[in-house]
Chains A and B, each alone.
Chain A
């Protein structure tokens, strides 16, 4: 009879007095060196995408004294602070800060994996995080994802530490407030982090109500109480900005004012995916291409609904969202059909690493666009860009497979598997609007935890149970389906190198 697989720490939560064990130094050093190399390869100014807009907002804030953007303010505040302190070198300084924050995120991933599974998993998580190329651009390109990840990972770690009973009493109370504060700051970095607040709250009602790590019965009152504290701390963090934005607008504004634009792009006829900028995606000739084209082809008579440019920004947003919802109501079949492609877009093997490797710095005189930056000519030369692109694609595939195995078939601490479900639940709604690899970045970072648990448990038999096996097969099926639909864009990306 095969022995029943047991979690290494089934007897109770690990005593983790050392929050920075010596075994963590090597992966953190590796992460710093790798990110430093890529940082030095970023040449010529702002990268294509939203970076020029973020840099413009940060510079304007520093020079004019007031924030005048429509995105949440924290990431522009980081750039503005760097510009104020370092002047012309402010953008470079902000890139260095993001790089340091990325190393900080690696450390928190190790802490999280240690609490979810074991110290061995923690070290594995450090190495995966250090070497995982698809997330490296967010360590120096001035997009908001790097900052959001650096705030969400400590919050998740603190919440899990409370859930497994490692932090108790006043320390648990302080951890819940700190986690709420961090998630609130993440919401002030990216609107989409509100999904994280919602998903973590649902998870918290169950996981934070368990008495310690024993996995005993949930006490709903305890879960509700701790979750309420976490949510109220997040609300208090967001409130000053909401008050200011509401005062400026003259009506209630929670965070940013760009939901309408996303609704216009995501809930309409035309297909948009910024991972595919500059690509000629084949519609036949490769597996999945024809199916993808069919799924995206609108039925006869379906037109692109126009964007009504109302002068009042809040009203413009409200009407845009209402128009998007009306489009869904008018074409529910087309909407559902295109969501299958959006799910594939969210799980695509492409990433911002592959995007920037195929894009040399643009010539501003020729292109007329604000972005003038990109990776240097060595990184974008074929001897480097082709193997690095292939490695990046393989890393996404490997991480997804390992994470599926680790989350479903490896015993994790009570609460840890739920936390991963919360991360997926916080990322999945993006497929309902605009999906691309950049938006999945925070959830992608968290997938390193179950992947590390899988690597730490390779010699142990997987968990049994029909439901677990069926779920694992279903997840693998979803991944294979998504990657089949992504073959066309992936080949088009490789052809661009």
Chain B
């Protein structure tokens, strides 16, 4: 016997009409949107040269920081002389310089 705290619900195992189609449509739309978003991200990936340009001249400091971060992720500065990096930082914003000093201080040591 069911405990008093559990009131049996009316059994209605069948899905409401149209629910299946709506769920398939929604799933398809979400899946397509996800694939398109990632595809656009990949297609719009900037080249190393574009990132260098952004890291040096972008008006928004946060764009410079993000471009510097992308260059570091791609290993660009690891293969460059230290002087080139310091020159680049001197030409950039305070935020970009602060970012490299604070988060990637090892790049600034002699390699």
Q: Are B69 and A314 closer than 8 Å at their CB atoms? A: no
List the A side residues contacting B20 at CB < 8 Å.
221-222, 225
Per the bound structure, the CA–CA distance linking A173 and B72 in Å amounts to 43
Does residue B8 face the partner (Cβ distance < 8 Å to A)? yes
A169 touches B19 (CB 8 A): yes
How far apart sit A312 and B76, CA to CA, in the bound complex (Å)? Answer: 8
A228 with B24: CB separation less than 8 A: yes
Encoded as 1 (CB less than 8 Å from any A CB) or 0, chain B from 88 to 99 comes to: 000000010011
Question: Which of A56, A120, A170, A246 lies in contact with B38, CB distance below 8 A?
Answer: A246
**What is the interface of chain A mostly: helix, strand, loop, or mixed?**
helix
Task: Report the minimum CB–CB distance from A30 to chain B (whole Å).
Answer: 21
Question: A225 — which chain B residues lie within 8 A by C-beta?
Answer: 20, 23-24, 27
| A64 adjacent to B34 (CB under 8 Å) | no
Tell which of B3, B15, B75 touches A315, judged by Cβ atoms closer than 8 Å: B75
Determine the residue in chain A with the shortest Cβ distance to B28: A232
Q: With A9-B8, A239-B33, A312-B75 in contact, is A216–B2 under 8 Å at CB?
A: no
Most buried by B among A12, A168, A180, A247: A247
Smallest Cβ-Cβ distance to A211: which chain B residue:
B13
Please state if A9 and B11 are interface contacts (CB–CB under 8 Å): no
Whether A212 lies near B13 (C-beta < 8 A) is yes
- The 0/1 profile, CB within 8 Å of A marked 1, for residues 1-42 of chain B is 011011111111111100110111011101101110110111
- CB-nearest residue of chain B to A248: B70
The A-B contact count (CB < 8 A) is 183
B102 touches A229 (CB 8 A): no
Q: Is A365 an interface residue (CB 8 A)?
A: no
CA distance A236 to B37 in the complex (A): 8
Whether the Cβ atoms of B31 and A65 lie closer than 8 Å is: no
Give every chain B residue within 8 A of A13 (Cβ-Cβ): 8-9
Contacts of B45 in A (CB 8 A): 246-250
In the complex the two chains form, is A236's CB within 8 Å of B41's CB? no
Q: Given contacts A118-B5, A216-B13, A225-B20, is CB(A232)–CB(B42) below 8 Å?
A: no
Give the CA-CA distance A214 to B12 in the complex, in Å. Answer: 10
With A118-B3, A212-B13 as known contacts, state yes or no: A239 contacts B27, CB within 8 Å. Answer: no
One digit per residue, 1 when the CB lies within 8 angstroms of any chain A CB and 0 when it does not, for chain B 41-77 equals 1101110000000000000111101100110111110
Instruction: From B7, B23, B37, give the contact of A226 (CB < 8 A).
Output: B23
A243 within 8 A of B: yes
How many B residues touch the partner, as a band?
Answer: 35 or more
Q: Is the CB of A239 within 8 A of B16?
A: no
Whether the Cβ atoms of A252 and B38 lie closer than 8 Å is yes
Cβ of A177 within 8 Å of any chain B Cβ, yes or no, is yes
**A273: B residues at CB distance < 8 A:** none
B66 with A60: CB separation less than 8 A = no
Within 8 A of B (CB), among A7-65: 8-15, 56, 60, 63-65
The answer to whether A176 touches B23 (Cβ under 8 A) is: yes
Task: Check if A247 sits within 8 Å of B69, measured CB to CB.
Answer: no
> Given the complex of chains A and B, what is the CA–CA distance between A303 and B24 in angstroms?
52
The answer, yes or no, to whether A310 is at the interface (CB within 8 Å) is: yes
- A172, CB-defined interface residue at 8 Å: yes
Residues of chain A lying within 8 A (CB to CB) of residue B38 = 239, 242-243, 246, 252
How far is B75's CA from A311's CA once the two chains are assembled, in angstroms? 4
- Beyond A235-B30, A252-B38, whether A314 also contacts B73 by CB under 8 A is yes
Which chain A residues lie closer than 8 Å to B5 at the CB level? 14, 118-120
Minimum Cβ distance to chain A for residue B84 (Å): 14
A212 touches B12 (CB 8 A): yes
Q: A118-B3, A173-B19, A173-B26 are in contact. Are A232 and B75 (CB under 8 A)?
A: no
Report whether B31 and A250 are in contact in the complex, using a CB–CB cutoff of 8 Å. no
Cross-interface CB contact of A60 among B26, B76, B103, cutoff 8 Å: B103
Q: Does A444 contact B (CB under 8 A)?
A: no
21 contacts between A and B (CB under 8 A): A14-B7, A63-B95, A64-B61, A65-B60, A66-B62, A66-B63, A68-B65, A118-B5, A118-B6, A165-B9, A169-B15, A169-B19, A177-B26, A229-B26, A232-B34, A244-B41, A248-B69, A249-B73, A313-B72, A313-B74, A313-B75
Known: A68-B69, A236-B33, A251-B42. 5 other contacts (CB 8 A): A60-B103, A66-B65, A118-B5, A211-B13, A311-B78
Q: Which residues on A are within 8 Å of B, measured CB to CB? A: 8-15, 56, 60, 63-66, 68, 118-120, 165-166, 168-170, 172-173, 176-177, 180, 211-214, 216, 221-222, 225-226, 228-229, 231-233, 235-236, 238-240, 242-252, 257, 310-316
